[in-house]
Amino acid sequence: MIGQYLTRFAQKYGIELRYIQPSKPMQNGLVERLNLNVFPTIAQVQAALDECGAARAVAGI
């Protein structure tokens, strides 16, 4: 169910989904490290989403 939602969301916004190769967990490590560098905590993710939503509301988007 989540996978279907993610696929539809990605198609709607022109996002290319890339998957790691089966049995290659080392590839996921790079993504996880990048995620930690961009958004170290869930609270920061939520704050960024809230800020983005507020900016869109002000802009009338």
Q: What is residue 19's predicted lDDT score, i.e. its pLDDT?
A: 80
pLDDT in tens, 5-58: 888 998 999 988 888 777 777 777 766 776 677 666 778 778 877 887 776 766
Closest CA to 2 of 33, 10, 47: 10
Closest CA to 20 of 7, 9, 29: 29
- In the 8-state DSSP scheme, what is residue 20? P
pTM: 0.39
